Structure 1
Amino acid sequence: MLIDTHCHLDFADFDPERDDIVARAHAAGVGQMVTISTRVRKFPTILAIAEKYPTVFCSVGTHPHNADEELDVTVDELVQLSAHPKVVAIGEAGLDYFYDNAPREAQAQGLRTHIAAARQTGLPLVIHSRSADDDMAAILTEETGKGAFPFLLHCFSSGADLARIGVELGGYVSFSGILTFPKSEELRQIARTVPTDRMLVETDAPYLAPKPYRGKRNEPAYVAHTAAVLAETLGIEADEMARITTDNALRIFSKMPRVS
């Protein structure tokens, strides 16, 4: 079994066929999915999807693109919403200096709020980091010094130093379809340096479809292709890679039961 640790089943891309999307994931060996929040104010929509499907779980949080829209979201609100049995993570929150859709100060403030919620609840923080390696490493190091919290670096496409620092601070590294792209040899080299007990796989669907679906809409079933390339990169069997990443996912998403 595989677990897609990061998808966005609430996005409009999936509205016409969400039942079929989940069914295809199961047929491809993807037993569980985590659909990730990008806006706390839209959390009821995400929660309704997670409640509908026994194999789908969710997070609660504000994407850095939307950080300035939800600076009024408090630690207490995140903690309260995360008490629902289907909520297994906080986020995604983080820093995105590639698009800079929100002021960097707002992104950092939002990230620290989510860190505090992760620390208080013990739920893992799903971190988005793009073109912000130095600041992300600095915040994670500083905040971990105040008290450890579980976290994962989702859709990893940063440099080797951030991967190393993340692991040293107790975090996990999640690989998406980017790993399968022909020009991603540097990322595959970084994957070889990540301890096998700290790696996860995800789709980030509907974005970043792996080969052979690149350029098309992504969906949770396709995480199998990313896992196969990760296995090939590490020189292990695909079945073993599935076991490793599933065990890791259930460890960090400790509130999520094994349901298939």
Structure 2
Amino acid sequence: MLIDSHVNLHAPQFDDDREAVIDRARAAGVGLMVNICDRVSNYAACRAVAEAPDIWCTVGTHPHEAKEAPDLSPETLIALAADPRVVGIGECGLDFHYDLSPRDIQARVFRAHCAAARATGLPLVVHTREADEVMGAILAEEHAAGPFRILMHCYTSGSELARRCAELGAWFSVSGIATFKAAGDVRAVIREMPGDRIIIETDCPYLAPVPHRGRRNEPAFVGHVLEKLAEVRGWSRDEAETRTTDAFFNLFDRIPRP
């Protein structure tokens, strides 16, 4: 069974053919998908996709959208996470590349998500870009206040942050970026990730893997990510599928394993 741990199926790019996209994923052997919330105000749309028995969801606000609710409270996230279809807190974090929200607000909202992950026991789905030092410091500080599980989603940051996160017990997800010709630095970090804490994702509709690069991404393409991960790690495809499936259910333990 293939699992796509990070989809954005409620995105407007899928408005014309959402059900067909989901059907293609199932036909390609994708047995589970996690639909990722981009902002709390859009949670209802994210949750609606998770009515399907093989699709689950998260609740959170992306750092790009942090300015929308600068005083977002852990209690708001905790209340929404009581829904049994919610299996994670996020996507949240820091993005200092685009700075679409002020950095202090990004950090404040991110800490609210950390507190919610700590309180609920659900994994924290973390987005980080060009914020390695601050991200590492916040995660270490918040984790010291009380541990919680961490998923470094679509990890493309540096080896030092990866090491710090691994020491905190973090999981890492590999995306289609690993297939890009120029992504040798990303593949180098993937080789050093803890082998029992790697999962795969598409981040669709973004980041379509080779040979679909430049097209709208779909969960049906996640097999290409798995194949590249196997190649990079020196695993067989079957071993990569077993390892990533085990890691997924160890992380997202609100989802019953078939």
TM-score (norm 1): 0.97
1:166 aligns with 2:162: no
TM superposition shift of 1:198: 0.9
Mean Cα displacement is larger for which, 24-33 or 122-131? 24-33
Amino acid at match of 2:20: D
Amino acid at match of 1:117: A
TM superposition shift of 1:243: 1.2
Q: How many residues align?
A: 258
Distance (whole Å) between structure 2 residues aligned to residue 29 and residue 188 of structure 1: 25
Once the two structures are superposed, the pairs formed by residues 1-260 of structure 1 within 5 Å of their partners are 1-51=1-51, 53-259=52-258
**Secondary structure of residue in 1 paired with 2:44:** helix
**Cα distance per residue 1:34-71 (max 9 Å; x no partner):** 010011011111111101x1100000000000101112
Distance (whole Å) between structure 1 residues aligned to residue 24 and residue 237 of structure 2: 19
Distance (whole Å) between structure 1 residues aligned to residue 102 and residue 71 of structure 2: 15
Amino acid at match of 2:19: D
Distance (whole Å) between structure 2 residues aligned to residue 189 and residue 105 of structure 1: 31
Percent identity for Structure 1 against Structure 2: 50
> Pairwise CA RMSD of aligned residues?
0.9
Distance (whole Å) between structure 1 residues aligned to residue 205 and residue 146 of structure 2: 34
TM superposition shift of 1:27: 1.5
**Secondary structure of residue in 2 paired with 1:257:** coil
Distance (whole Å) between structure 2 residues aligned to residue 246 and residue 9 of structure 1: 21
TM superposition shift of 1:246: 1.1
Distance (whole Å) between structure 2 residues aligned to residue 200 and residue 136 of structure 1: 21
Distance (whole Å) between structure 1 residues aligned to residue 147 and residue 90 of structure 2: 17
TM superposition shift of 1:116: 0.1
Distance (whole Å) between structure 2 residues aligned to residue 189 and residue 218 of structure 1: 24
Distance (whole Å) between structure 1 residues aligned to residue 196 and residue 29 of structure 2: 21
Distance (whole Å) between structure 2 residues aligned to residue 58 and residue 173 of structure 1: 18
**Secondary structure of residue in 2 paired with 1:16:** coil
TM-score (norm 2): 0.98
Amino acid at match of 1:237: S
What 5-or-longer segments of structure 1 have no aligned partner?
A: none
CA contact (8 A) 1:2 1:243 kept: no
CA contact (8 A) 1:79 1:117 kept: yes
**Secondary structure of residue in 1 paired with 2:50:** helix
What 5-or-longer segments of structure 2 have no aligned partner?
A: none
**Cα distance per residue 1:119-176 (max 9 Å; x no partner):** 0000001000000001000111111111111111101110011111111101111111
Amino acid at match of 2:181: P
Distance (whole Å) between structure 2 residues aligned to residue 172 and residue 104 of structure 1: 25
TM superposition shift of 1:72: 3.3
Amino acid at match of 2:217: N
Amino acid at match of 2:164: I
